A and B are shown apart, each in its own frame.
Chain A
């Protein structure tokens, strides 16, 4: 192995990031991940554990950890915080009833020390559904412009995992934001 290939190897390792995909149950976390990867999304059942998926995106290797969002599982989320570069928070934009829960869980998550440096990208999912709130409305309800988020790199994107709309914009923002912070040296 020549020096050049060693350097390349080190670099390719550096271009890897770990993304944690969280949100309430039924938000569409797994569907987003599968849809983004071009997989069949017709037979997705609630995640009772994790789905780990490696994606290749714009020269980056994204190790995505999608952990189930059911209330009984949420207490285990903290086991997945270590070394996380970015958090993707998925919101069911049509689930107006649980937006309060959604905000509470997000705030709790953002208060975690191990996630202090992680970029936050919010997917306002299910924009294809009638009755879905706009991403601006969700931004307001989640209080993203408040003091809790002032030291955080965050972005919010409307999307539909079913049509695929918006997914790419969100993932692009995420990889750019992380690479801007982490891969400056290379």
Chain B
């Protein structure tokens, strides 16, 4: 049996999937995943049930469909490796059984070398719930040489994501990554075009300056005051008190 302790020892990509698809007896289902620039809130990558993927493909092996669903190829902007703070947002739902001690461990490799490892405990998940996990990665600064090599070696950056409930491995997914060079001479980044509608709306609203930790309190207040206070607002109760 594979435990969290085991996968934390891994120093190179797993050769096979370490549990069958059927190990996910909790009905854990990923609904949406997004990568953004934490400071500007710009979307760099997004995929979801209702969001057709750009820059993503499955590694279909018709001899082994079960594995194909768990092997995804992504194309990311090289900014994912270079920006100081990367935000990710994952939406997932769970089935009718409560999850105790839900935990994700993700190991990232370049070729056969471990470059990053993430370990996050969600803890308890309410039966039938839909949950969102937004986190910020301050990337361990990667050497410029390593970044260049990763960019020039498509799909040689890989990751294994392991999901545990307690000590039981319930999901194992694999991904490989290709990084797209950004044109330094251009104002626009590739993802400005890929996610034009959402990212341009962001800038237009002035929230692109973001409430990041770099922004001091005065700016922050000013920024949040630029929100859409003239709109209906998110509360259904508004009508009752207007």
Residues of A that sit less than 8 Å from B by CB = 26, 28, 31, 35-44, 48-59, 68, 73, 76, 79-80, 82, 92, 94-95, 126, 128-132, 160, 162-165, 167-168, 172
Indicate whether A54 sits within 8 Å of B135 (C-beta atoms), given known contacts A38-B211, A49-B125, A167-B224.
Answer: yes
Q: Is the CB of B129 closer than 8 A to any CB of chain A?
A: yes
Contact A38 B225 (CB under 8 A): no
8 A-B pairs besides A50-B126, A79-B124 with CB distance below 8 A are A26-B235, A31-B235, A36-B224, A51-B132, A52-B133, A52-B134, A54-B135, A163-B225
Contact B135 A56 (CB under 8 A): no
Q: Which of B133, B134, B202 has the most CB of A within 10 A?
A: B134
Contact B229 A52 (CB under 8 A): no
Contact A129 B135 (CB under 8 A): no
In chain B, positions 153-206 with a C-beta closer than 8 Å to chain A are 202, 205
Task: Return chain A residues, CB-CB under 8 Å to B231.
Answer: 42
Contact B237 A49 (CB under 8 A): no
Contact B132 A164 (CB under 8 A): no
Which of B7-15, B55-63, B143-151, B215-223 lies at the binding interface? Answer: B215-223
User: Closest approach, in angstroms, between the C-beta of B66 and any C-beta of chain A?
Assistant: 28
Contact B227 A162 (CB under 8 A): yes
Contact A52 B122 (CB under 8 A): yes
Q: Is the CB of B142 closer than 8 A to any CB of chain A?
A: no
Alpha-carbon gap, A24 to B227, bound state (A)? 24
Indicate whether A80 sits within 8 Å of B237 (C-beta atoms), given known contacts A42-B231, A52-B134.
Answer: no
Task: Return chain B residues, CB-CB under 8 Å to A51.
Answer: 131-134
Alpha-carbon gap, A164 to B231, bound state (A)? 14
Q: Is the CB of B103 closer than 8 A to any CB of chain A?
A: no
Q: Is the CB of B52 closer than 8 A to any CB of chain A?
A: no
Task: Return chain B residues, CB-CB under 8 Å to A31.
Answer: 234-235
Alpha-carbon gap, A31 to B234, bound state (A)? 8
Residues of B that sit less than 8 Å from A by CB = 41, 85, 93-94, 122-126, 128-136, 202, 205, 207, 209-213, 217, 220-221, 223-225, 227-229, 231, 233-238, 240-242
Task: Return chain A residues, CB-CB under 8 Å to B229.
Answer: 128, 160, 162-163
Q: Which residue of B lies closest to A37 (CB)?
A: B211
Question: Contact check: which of A36, A52, A160 meets B135 at CB < 8 Å?
Answer: A52
Q: Which residue of B lies closest to A35 (CB)?
A: B224
Contact B212 A56 (CB under 8 A): yes
Q: Which residue of A lies closest to B213 (CB)?
A: A56
User: Closest approach, in angstroms, between the C-beta of B128 and any C-beta of chain A?
Assistant: 8
Indicate whether A168 sits within 8 Å of B135 (C-beta atoms), given known contacts A35-B227, A163-B225.
Answer: no
Task: Return chain A residues, CB-CB under 8 Å to B234.
Answer: 28, 31, 41-44, 162
Task: Return chain B residues, CB-CB under 8 Å to A82.
Answer: 123
Contact B207 A40 (CB under 8 A): yes
Alpha-carbon gap, A168 to B217, bound state (A)? 8
Question: Contact check: which of A26, A28, A38 meets B210 at CB < 8 Å?
Answer: A38
Contact A165 B225 (CB under 8 A): yes
Task: Return chain B residues, CB-CB under 8 Å to A36.
Answer: 211, 224
Indicate whether A49 sits within 8 Å of B124 (C-beta atoms), given known contacts A126-B235, A168-B220.
Answer: no
Task: Return chain A residues, CB-CB under 8 Å to B212.
Answer: 38, 56
Contact A49 B130 (CB under 8 A): yes
Contact A164 B133 (CB under 8 A): no
Task: Return chain A residues, CB-CB under 8 Å to B209.
Answer: 38
